[in-house]
Amino acid sequence: MSAVHKQVLLANREYAANFDKGDLPLPPGRKFAILTCMDARLDPAKYAGLSEGDAHVIRNAGGRASDDAIRSLVISYKLLGTREWFVIHHTDCGMLLFNNDIMADLLSKSLKTASIDENGWHDCCEGGGSHEGKFINWLTIKDQAESVLEDVIRIKSHPLVPDDIPVYGYIYDVRTGQLIEVPEATRAGAV
């Protein structure tokens, strides 16, 4: 068992020893959802003032409106009653550091973790790669505000998303902890 594995299980035992949230209802109490990035520096509970049971938080690389993210948002609304959604990307996102071609190339050479320096991305090892990476749209980001706007528009125009759900667009600043509105996105997501 790794040190991380042991730490997670110990933390869970301590959490469970004082757990008093077993009676929370299934629907989120504050009736909203957040789509945001999986970046470990983001803590939606803290930056959005959430407690357990308050909201749905959907996370993926970049906080992008992928098919699966939209699937989760639709379930959040249709079956669990959320009435407002936030799309929150962030500054200094790793999704700005590559594109589909770079990712496909790296994966074709090796499945091991790559590294980046001033000269670009590098694989540590050769062999064991796969060309399957060229068939995936990695939903990389060139411009944060533009990607937030694109995702809000994609969500709002999706045929399974009702017109009466407002979708707000923000960028979380990893240096200050502030949410910065993308006004064009919030306008596009208005009811």
pLDDT tens-digit readout, 78-117? 999 999 999 999 999 999 999 999 999 999 999 999 999 9
> Residue 13 — φ and ψ, nearest 5°?
-60, -45
For the stretch 14-34, pLDDT in tens is 999 999 999 999 999 999 999
Tell me where in the chain the CATH 3.40.1050.10 domain(s) lie.
31-93+143-191
pLDDT-above-70 percentage for the chain: 100
What angle do the packed helices 144-157 and 67-78 form, to 10 degrees? 50
CA 61 to chain centroid, in Å, comes to 5
Average pLDDT, the chain: 96
The model's pTM: 0.93
pLDDT band at 125 (very low <50, low <70, confident <90, very high): confident
Q: Is the alpha carbon torsion for 75, 76, 81, 85 positive or negative?
A: negative
- For residue 170, what pLDDT is reported? 98
- Confidence at 128, pLDDT banded by 50, 70, 90: confident
- Sequence-ordered list of residues with C-beta below 8 angstroms from that of 80, at least 6 positions apart, any chain: 26, 27, 28, 56
* First and final C-alpha spacing in the chain: 51
Q: What is the pLDDT of residue 85?
A: 98
Class for domain 31-93+143-191, per CATH? alpha beta
CA distance 163 to 15: 40
With cut-offs at 50, 70 and 90, classify the pLDDT of residue 126. Answer: confident
**Please, how many CA atoms are within 13 Å of residue 3, restricted to the half-sphere of its CB?**
0
